[in-house]
């Protein structure tokens, strides 16, 4: 009896997987229709993303206002990874001006953030930022490396026709 049930095509379960809807499609403006932030950080930083969701201005055509705190925090993590040797400095080349990259490269060569004993990862304190003008952000962060504590300060400015954020100065002690 089981052989007859299995041979009948109408009673056999389908072995084809059901199609799932495509979830990673790009909405216009680089933002998710639900109002979440885009996955790619440059979409927020370069001013091409549309303001949606939290600001209440859905469908606005102007650039999204920058969040100085989030921008400074994101760049501080990347900068500390470069200064400790966890990330190559070339990865920040396009996000720094010529003077800023020169300062960064000299800090890396001098070993500005050396590990002070058996420390796994650097621990960053809160990032303190201020915006002296709408197109500039100055920030500093305390970095704990084992028994040593360092301070890293940097300045980000909006530059170029696209308004991309670039690091123009960096200092570490």
Angle at 96 between CA 135 and CA 100, to 5 degrees: 95
**What is the model's pTM?**
0.61
Q: What is the mean pLDDT of residues 116-137?
A: 85
- The per-residue DSSP string of 28-77 comes to GGGS-TTSPPPSSHHHHHTS-SBP-GGGS-TT--SBPPP-HHHHHHHHHH
154 vs 168: CA distance, rounded Å: 8
Model confidence at 93, in pLDDT bands (50, 70, 90)?
A: very high
pLDDT tens digits, 55-87: 444 444 444 556 888 999 999 999 999 999 889
22 vs 61: CA distance, rounded Å: 26
- Choose between 120 and 53: higher pLDDT: 120
Instruction: Please name which of 163, 168, 167 lies closest in space to residue 43, comparing C-alpha atoms.
Output: 163
Q: Which residues of 9-37 are buried (b: 16+ CB within 10 A; e: fewer)?
A: eeeeeeeeeeeeeeeeeeeebbbbeeeeb
Instruction: Please name which of 89, 90, 88, 85 lies closest in space to residue 119, comparing C-alpha atoms.
Output: 85
pLDDT of residue 105: 94
pLDDT of residue 33: 54
**Residue 82 CA, distance from chain mean position:** 14
Q: Using a pLDDT cut of 70, give the percent of the chain over it.
A: 58
Angle at 22 between CA 16 and CA 25, to 5 degrees: 160
pLDDT of residue 49: 46
85 vs 98: CA distance, rounded Å: 20
């Amino acid at each position: 009896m089981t052989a007859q049930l299995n041979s009948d095509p109408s009673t056999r379960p389908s072995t084809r997987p059901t199609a799932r809807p495509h979830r990673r499609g790009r909405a216009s403006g680089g933002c998710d229709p639900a109002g979440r932030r885009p996955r790619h950080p440059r979409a927020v930083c370069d001013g091409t993303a549309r303001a949606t969701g939290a600001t209440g201005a859905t469908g606005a055509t102007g650039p999204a206002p920058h969040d100085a705190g989030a921008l400074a925090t994101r760049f501080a993590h990347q900068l500390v990874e470069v200064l400790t040797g966890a990330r190559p400095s070339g990865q920040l080349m396009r996000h720094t001006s010529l003077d800023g990259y020169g300062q960064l490269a000299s800090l890396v060569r001098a070993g500005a953030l050396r590990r002070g004993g058996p420390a796994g990862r650097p621990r960053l304190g809160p990032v303190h930022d201020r915006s002296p003008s709408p197109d500039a952000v100055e920030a500093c962060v305390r970095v704990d490396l084992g028994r040593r504590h360092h301070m890293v300060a940097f300045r980000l400015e909006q530059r170029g026709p696209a308004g991309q954020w670039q690091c123009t100065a960096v200092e570490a002690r």
